[in-house]
């Protein structure tokens, strides 16, 4: 564990976000709708289910709130901060993994699917978190990691001790190597984190033995989903957490469980962040048709429980029509829309991805989802501060081209207001409501993501978006925990982004999000439909119910939509009342 000291505290600007803010008026009918009481039992209805309109907030437990001062966030820390999420106005939380794990990939290497790592607390802490969230009208989604276990899982230990061809080895993907002594990997697949996707084991006799497949780190052996025992095990894991009251599962690497049977060579490099391009053949390790049968089985389990429990696919799959197959009526409820996350900040690119996304999910009667940030990508307040159309980096560090922070935040705020006005369900990543940037100057020695080492120090990886978040500007570790300890170093800019510097400060990013979420609910924006008004090269504008939404991507200011009342804006209008560059406005026109 790495516990760097807290970086030097700077005073910063005490009013970094101050600017005039448009007046927001809520009518009585809007107020009546503006409640968090959105939590009812009932059949899982694709037209009205809670998830079809939900804003779901991703908590990365290591970095949200640390209750005991060891520098690592934990479940009691989350429970103590739940009121923040109620105040923000989200409907649900999704928790990244908190299960027992050697933490080779920050907990996405699970050693026991039915317990809590002591680092994060206990099962009793998980029960309490679920109960306290429910008491506040917040749903709870947990992360399920079915593509691979940790190499510390008892199944893998048993597989290593057993002979080739044994039932223990058959739960994973073991193969003999190629070449005279089997010294070459069974195929040429690359790990997502860099390097070969195979590692050779030493047999019980002490001699080099078979190889096992790991699409990610060596500590994450891939399971063999053709083995009925693996399938049965995960049905049971689902029930374990459903019985504890969770409202759903975010399914990690949902497109990876089934591999092409012949494990054919695939000359291409591997990247977690790039979707499969439309005109390329499908890689033998991703998006195989066999995965869908697994999710149909899971859906039947969820549907057997009271309430509306959901499955959310993390599937880096393109095109949108292919992704939509994961959310057919008898499979998952939602899939992350990574094509949207990856889209360039131009009017044509945003228009194209929004229309494609809506069409693809409409065709299977599923809600469209939207997301701009998560724990695997450069935070959007920094990503959007990089040159438009350039290479999208996997992490940013010292010596790399640095994003334009002010431009990035301005565009991020505009992008968020555009996103939250779209019909469907939206995902937020902890800290984006504070306008947090990526930590782009983190010392390389502090990095923990296996990507950095496995790529031979060419890809810095994902630590920069995983830094413990700031709550109070003047407290140790910016209020993350009771001590200075923080498992990744926090940059000095955290002071000006801390929640207590933004709460009730007009124009702050936190207040921008809060107001947007309140209005989104009041105007029923999640329900749509969306009707395009302008789809040019510089301006995107659409109607959603009583609101007209406009984003200006062009160089010149454009007029505010006529005949309406401005209810929200990502930045102040100019002196003439026009909408400046990189600004989104919400105007009430009906
Ligand atoms: C998913 C997770 C990522 C993890 C990987 C392997 O993509 O979001 O953080 O490294 O799966 O489990
Ligand atoms: Ca802790």
What are the tens digits of pLDDT across the range 353-390? 999 999 999 999 999 999 999 999 999 999 999 999 88
Is 506's pLDDT higher than 50? Answer: yes
**Structure tokens, 354:** 């929004």
Per the listing, tokens 């106005």 go with 89
Q: In whole angstroms, how large is the CA radius of gyration of the chain? A: 24
Q: Which domains does the chain have, with CATH numbers?
A: 53-149+226-261+272-520 (3.20.20.80), 154-213 (3.90.400.10), 530-589 (2.60.40.1180)
Least confident of 44-58, 428-442, 509-523, 570-584: 44-58
541 within 8 A of 422, measured Cβ to Cβ: no
Which ligand is nearest to the Cα of residue 477, counting in written order? 2
pLDDT for position 22: 34
Residue 269 confidence (pLDDT): 74
pLDDT of residue 16: 29
CA of 13 to the centre of ligand 2 (A): 30
Retrieve residue 435's tokens. 């306008």
Average pLDDT over residues 258-271: 88
Exposed/middle/buried for 58, CB within 10 Å: 0-12, 13-18, 19+?
A: buried
Residue whose pair of structure tokens reads 């920050």 in the numeric block: 106
What distance lies between CA 103 and its chain's CA centroid? 18
User: What percentage of the chain reaches a pLDDT higher than 90?
Assistant: 86
- Residue 13 confidence class, pLDDT cut points 50, 70, 90: very low
What is the distance between the alpha carbons of residues 91 and 207, in angstroms, rounded to a whole number? 54
Pocket test for ligand 1, best of 102, 111, 252 (most atoms within 8 A of CB): 252
Residue 469 is given by DSSP the state P
Give CA–CA dist 464/449, Å, rounded. Answer: 10
Backbone angles phi, psi at 371, to 5 degrees: -155, 140
List, for residues 16-53, the tens digit of each pLDDT value: 222 333 333 334 333 333 333 343 444 456 678 999 99
Contact 252 CB / ligand 1 (< 6 Å): yes
Half-sphere exposure of 178 (CA within 13 A, CB side): 9
Give pLDDT, residue 32.
33
Mean pLDDT of 97-105: 98
Rounded to whole angstroms, the maximal C-alpha distance in the chain is 81
Which residues, 6 or more positions from 17, have their beta carbon under 8 angstroms from its beta carbon? Answer: 435, 502, 505, 507, 508, 509
- How far is the centre of ligand 1, averaged over its atoms, from the C-alpha of 361 (Å)? 24
Q: What is the pLDDT of residue 46?
A: 65
Nearest atom within ligand 1 for CA of residue 376: 9
Question: What is the mean pLDDT of the segment spanning 282-298?
Answer: 95
Q: Which helix (H) or strand (E) holds 339?
A: helix 338-342
Q: Find out whether 377 and 462 touch, Cβ atoms under 8 Å.
A: yes
**pLDDT tier at 281, thresholds 50, 70, 90:** confident
Report the share of the chain in percent with pLDDT over 70. 90
Crossing angle of helices 228-243 and 291-303, in 10° steps, is 30
Nearest CA to 415 out of 480, 339, 343 is that of: 343
Average pLDDT over residues 344-353: 97
223 in contact with ligand 1, CB cutoff 6 A = no
Ligand 1 touching residue 313 (CB < 6 A): no
Per-residue pLDDT tens digits for 464-492: 999 999 999 999 999 999 999 999 999 99
- Looking at the chain, the number of H-run helices and the number of E-run strands are 16, 16
What is the arrangement of strands in the sheet containing 334-335, beginning at the earlier edge strand? 334-335, 310-313, 248-251, 139-144, 92-95, 55-59, 425-429, 369-371
Task: Express each pLDDT in 33-43 by its tens digit.
Answer: 333 334 344 44
For 10-14, 54-58, 488-492, 520-524, which range has the lowest pLDDT when averaged over its residues?
Answer: 10-14
Q: What angle, rounded to 10 degrees, do the helices at 509-522 and 405-420 form?
A: 10
Q: In whole angstroms, give the CA distance from residue 361 to residue 453.
A: 38
What's the token pair of residue 368? 């469209």
Q: How large is the average pLDDT for residues 312-321?
A: 92
Query: Cα separations (Å) of 580 from 117, 124, 347, 570, 572?
Result: 49, 51, 15, 10, 8
Q: Cα–Cα distance between 559 and 320 in angstroms, integer?
A: 34
- Ligand 1 center–CA 325 separation, angstroms: 21
- Please identify, by atom number, the ligand 1 atom nearest to the C-alpha of residue 316: 7
pLDDT tens for 59-82 read: 999 999 999 999 999 999 999 999
State how far the Cα of 532 lies from the Cα of 32, in Å rounded to an integer: 28
Q: Confirm whether 527 is a catalytic residue.
A: no
Rounded distance between C-alpha atoms, residue 127 and residue 348, angstroms: 46
Average model confidence (pLDDT) for the chain?
91
Contact residues for 220 (Cβ-Cβ < 8 A; gap 6+): 104, 105, 108, 109, 148, 149, 150, 151, 214
Backbone torsions φ then ψ of 550, nearest 5 degrees: -140, 130
The pTM (predicted TM-score) of the whole model is: 0.92
pLDDT at 26 (0 to 100)? 38
**Is 429's C-beta closer than 6 angstroms to any atom of ligand 1?**
no
What does the H/E/C string look like for 224-286?
CCCCHHHHHHHHHHHHHHHHCCCCEEEECCCCCCCCCCCCCCCCCCCCCCCCCCCCCCCCCCC
- Tens digits of per-residue pLDDT, 194-250? 899 999 999 878 899 999 999 999 999 999 999 999 999 999 999 999 999 999 999
Task: Report the separation in Å between the CA atom of 496 and the middle of ligand 2, taken as the mean of its atom positions.
Answer: 24
pLDDT band at 275 (very low <50, low <70, confident <90, very high): very low
Mean pLDDT of 395-411: 97
Average pLDDT over residues 265-277: 66
For the chain, percent helix, then strand, then coil, each to nearest 5? 30, 15, 55
**Smallest-distance ligand from the CA of 61:** 2
Task: Work out which ligand 1 atom sits closest to the CA atom of 145.
Answer: 12
* Nearest partner of 222 among 83, 85, 109, 66, judged by Cα: 109
Which of 271, 288, 43 is closest to 147 using CA atoms? 288
Neighbours of ion ligand 2 (CB under 5 A): 66, 68, 70, 72, 74
Instruction: Give the contacts of 143 (CB within 8 A, at least 6 positions apart).
Output: 94, 95, 96, 97, 108, 249, 250, 252
For residue 237, report the phi and psi dihedrals to the nearest 5 degrees. -65, -40
- Report pLDDT for 18: 28
Question: Which of the following is catalytic: 125, 222, 287, 314?
Answer: 314
Q: Is 314 a catalytic residue?
A: yes
């Amino acid at each position: 564990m790495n516990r760097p000291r807290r970086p030097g505290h700077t005073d910063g600007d005490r009013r970094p976000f101050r600017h005039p803010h448009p007046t927001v008026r809520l009518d009585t009918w809007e107020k009546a709708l503006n409640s968090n009481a959105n939590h009812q039992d009932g059949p899982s209805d694709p037209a009205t289910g809670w998830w079809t309109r939900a804003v779901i907030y991703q908590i990365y437990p290591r970095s949200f709130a640390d209750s005991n001062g060891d520098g690592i966030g934990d479940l009691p820390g989350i429970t103590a901060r739940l009121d923040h999420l109620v105040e923000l106005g989200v409907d649900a939380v999704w928790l990244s993994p908190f299960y027992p794990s050697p933490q080779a990939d920050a907990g996405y290497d699970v050693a026991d699917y039915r317990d809590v790592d002591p680092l994060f607390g206990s099962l009793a802490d998980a029960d309490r978190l679920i109960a306290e969230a429910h008491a506040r009208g917040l749903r709870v989604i947990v992360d399920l990691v079915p593509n691979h276990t940790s190499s510390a899982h008892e199944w893998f230990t048993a597989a290593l001790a057993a002979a080739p061809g044994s039932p223990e080895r058959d739960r994973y993907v073991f193969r003999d190597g190629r070449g005279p002594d089997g010294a070459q990997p069974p195929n040429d697949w690359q790990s997502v984190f860099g390097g070969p996707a195979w590692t050779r084991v030493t047999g019980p006799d002490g001699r080099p033995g078979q190889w096992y497949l790991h699409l990610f780190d060596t500590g994450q052996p891939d399971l063999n989903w053709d083995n009925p025992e693996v399938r049965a095990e995960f049905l049971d894991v689902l029930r374990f957490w459903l019985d504890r009251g969770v409202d759903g599962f975010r399914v990690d690497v949902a497109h990876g469980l089934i591999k092409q049977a012949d494990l054919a060579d695939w000359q291409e490099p591997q990247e977690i962040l790039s979707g499969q391009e439309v005109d390329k053949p499908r890689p033998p390790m991703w998006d195989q048709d066999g995965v869908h049968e697994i999710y149909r089985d899971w859906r039947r389990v969820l549907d057997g429980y009271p309430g509306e429990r959901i499955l959310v696919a993390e599937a880096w799959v393109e095109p949108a029509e292919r992704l939509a197959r994961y959310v057919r009526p008898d499979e998952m409820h939602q899939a992350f829309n990574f094509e949207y996350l990856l889209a360039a900040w131009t009017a044509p690119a945003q228009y194209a991805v929004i229309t494609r996304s809506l069409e693809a999910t409409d065709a299977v009667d599923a809600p469209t989802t939207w997301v701009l940030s998560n724990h695997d990508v450069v935070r959007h307040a920094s990503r959007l501060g990089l040159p438009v159309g350039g290479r999208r980096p996997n992490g940013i560090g010292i010596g790399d081209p640095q994003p334009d922070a002010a431009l990035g935040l301005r565009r991020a705020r505009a992008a968020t207001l555009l996103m939250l006005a779209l019909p469907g369900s939206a995902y937020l990543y902890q800290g984006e409501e504070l306008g947090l940037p990526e930590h782009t100057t983190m010392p390389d020695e502090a990095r923990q993501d296996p990507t950095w080492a496995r790529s031979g120090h060419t890809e810095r990886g994902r630590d920069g978006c995983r830094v413990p978040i700031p709550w109070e500007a003047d407290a140790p570790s910016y209020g993350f925990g009771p001590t200075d300890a923080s498992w990744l170093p926090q940059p000095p800019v955290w002071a000006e982004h801390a929640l207590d510097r933004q709460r009730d400060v007009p124009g702050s990013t936190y207040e921008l999000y809060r107001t947007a979420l309140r209005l989104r609910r009041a105007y029923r924006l999640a329900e749509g439909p969306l009707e395009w008004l302008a789809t040019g090269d510089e301006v995107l504008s659409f109607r959603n119910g009583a609101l007209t939404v406009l984003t200006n991507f062009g160089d010149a200011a454009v007029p505010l939509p006529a005949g309406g009342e401005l209810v929200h804006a990502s930045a102040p209008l100019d002196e003439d009342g026009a909408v400046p560059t990189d600004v989104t406005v919400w105007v009430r026109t009906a």
